[in-house]
């Protein structure tokens, strides 16, 4: 916790703090949750572990989409590019003898590289053009993958290398890897938001031209977020493969991933750190309940997403957090009144 030098503001008695009581508690709680989660495979059976891996993947996807849209103002309908690239990259590497879990990590890194390569093309677009542009890129890359028969063409392919582990062990390892990625990605995002880039991002989101005129290096900030998001989505894709062992171009590169991400972030709370996590949990619960309802399920998802976009734009977290200015993690800035009477403390 850092406190800004307050000598210049003693007249009014207000200081600027990065954290509040709530966020201190929240940070500790999150660390505790991670510790508890890591013992999960020892306590629960394979099925639960696999489901929890799915949940972690959803948390990653939601946070990464939110990083782009909620923080940088870039609505992407094409992050499935990286999901698919991460998954097929893993296949590609394992076919060439790389150990599967290492392949997952490398494929995620390769997705980051792909994002970096695509950024000069894609980042000059804004708004709806960026949305559809990213979608076209996803379609194009999916088509390229289909053309490569070594990767199974359009019919799908399995990940073989994991056969050396027993299902129990495999699921545990996959879970831990997913947990590790989630922690790393959320940690990177947290760092990004906490440093000057965080304020820069929100400035860009609110008004890119104004931000640029103030000297915010918009392109490099957007680049960092785009690469991070590519990295995260690539990791998610590779983890999906490790979790389900079989992928198909149509589904792994499908635009429904974007639909899921949009739903999670809109419902959870766009532009907040905690929102996407809540959205992922909610979506996970809904998926467990309704995924068998077929088309109705997706109709419901779409309808709910529209309703949130129009009527509850700040999402569930926004509803809760706005009222009481709660932040679980110390990513924002708080006004804190220095008590003139030491017995009294007020937090804004």
- 159 closest CA partner among 243, 47, 276: 243
Question: Using the rule CB under 8 A, is 319 a contact of other proteins?
Answer: no
Largest CA distance in the chain: 74
Residue 149 binds other proteins (CB under 8 A): no
Candidate segments 26-34, 170-178, 211-219, 303-311, binder of other proteins by CB under 8 A: 303-311
Nearest-approach distance from CB 139 to other proteins, in angstroms: 6
CA distance 57 to 78: 17
Q: How many residues does the chain have?
A: 348
Residue with tokens 């009294």: 344
Among 106, 262, 267, 278, binds other proteins (CB under 8 A): 262
Instruction: State the DSSP code for 71.
Output: I
Q: Does 28 help bind other proteins (rule: CB under 8 A)?
A: no
Q: Does 117 bind other proteins (CB under 8 A)?
A: no
Q: Which residue in the set 11, 35, 43, 295 belongs to the binding site for other proteins (CB under 8 A)?
A: 295
* Among 30, 146, 199, 281, interactor with other proteins by CB under 8 A: 146
Interface with other proteins in residues 242-261 (CB under 8 A): 255, 258-259
Core vs surface per residue 227-266: b (16+ CB within 10 A) or e: bbbbbbbbbbbbbbbbbbeebbbebbbbeebbbbbbbbbb
Residue 273 CA from chain centroid, whole number: 10
Regarding 291 and contact with other proteins (CB under 8 A), the answer is no
Q: Cα 9 vs. chain centroid, distance in angstroms?
A: 38
Separation of alpha carbons 263 and 98, rounded Å = 35
One of 61, 72, 75, 112 touching other proteins (CB under 8 A) = 75
Q: Which is nearer to other proteins, 73 or 332 (CB)?
A: 73
302 touching other proteins, by CB under 8 A? yes
> Of 13, 45, 313, 339, which one interacts with other proteins (CB under 8 A)?
313
Which residue number, 104 or 211, has a Cβ lying nearer to other proteins? 211
- Asked if 77 is part of the footprint of other proteins (rule: CB under 8 A), the reply reads yes
Contact partners, residue 316, CB within 8 Å, separation at least 6: 267, 268, 269, 275, 278, 279, 282
Positive or negative, the CA dihedral 325, 326, 331, 335 is positive
Q: Does 294 participate in binding other proteins (rule CB under 8 A)?
A: yes
Q: CB nearer to other proteins: give 65 or 273.
A: 65
d(CA 90, CA 307): 37
Instruction: Pick between residue 22 and residue 262 the one whose CB is nearest to other proteins.
Output: 262
Instruction: List residues binding other proteins (CB under 8 A).
Output: 69, 73, 75, 77, 120-121, 124-125, 127-129, 131-133, 135-137, 139-140, 143-144, 146-147, 255, 258-259, 262, 266, 270, 294-296, 298-299, 301-303, 305-306, 309-310, 313
């Amino acid at each position: 916790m850092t406190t800004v030098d307050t000598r210049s503001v003693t007249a009014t008695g207000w200081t600027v703090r990065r954290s509040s009581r709530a966020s201190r508690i929240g940070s500790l709680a999150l660390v505790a949750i991670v510790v508890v989660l890591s013992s999960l495979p020892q306590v629960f059976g394979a099925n639960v572990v696999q489901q929890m891996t799915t949940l972690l993947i959803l948390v990653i996807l939601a946070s990464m989409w939110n990083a782009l849209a909620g923080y940088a103002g870039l609505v992407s309908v094409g992050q499935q590019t990286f999901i698919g690239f991460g998954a097929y990259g893993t296949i590609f590497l394992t076919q060439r003898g790389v150990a599967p879990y290492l392949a997952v990590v490398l494929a995620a890194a390769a997705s980051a590289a792909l994002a970096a390569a695509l950024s000069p093309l894609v980042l000059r677009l804004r708004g709806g053009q960026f949305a559809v542009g990213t979608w076209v890129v996803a379609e194009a890359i999916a088509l390229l993958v289909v053309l490569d028969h070594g990767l199974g063409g359009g019919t799908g392919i399995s990940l073989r290398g994991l056969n050396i582990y027993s299902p129990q062990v495999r699921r545990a390892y996959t879970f831990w890897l997913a947990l590790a990625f989630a922690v790393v990605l959320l940690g990177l995002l947290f760092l990004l938001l906490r440093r000057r880039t965080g304020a820069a991002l929100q400035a860009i989101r609110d008004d890119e031209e104004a931000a640029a005129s103030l000297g915010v290096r918009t392109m490099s900030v957007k680049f960092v977020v785009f690469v991070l998001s590519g990295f995260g989505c690539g990791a998610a894709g590779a983890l999906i493969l490790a979790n389900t062992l079989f992928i198909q171009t149509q589904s792994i590169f499908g635009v429904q991933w974007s639909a899921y991400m949009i739903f999670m972030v809109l419902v959870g709370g766009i532009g907040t750190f905690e929102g996407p996590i809540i959205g992922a949990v909610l979506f996970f619960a809904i998926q467990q309940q309704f995924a068998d309802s077929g088309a109705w399920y997706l109709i419901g998802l779409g309808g709910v997403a529209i309703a949130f976009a129009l009527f509850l734009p700040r999402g569930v977290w926004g509803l809760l957090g706005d009222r009481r200015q709660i932040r679980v993690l110390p990513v924002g800035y708080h006004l804190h009144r220095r008590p003139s009477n030491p017995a009294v403390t007020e937090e804004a």
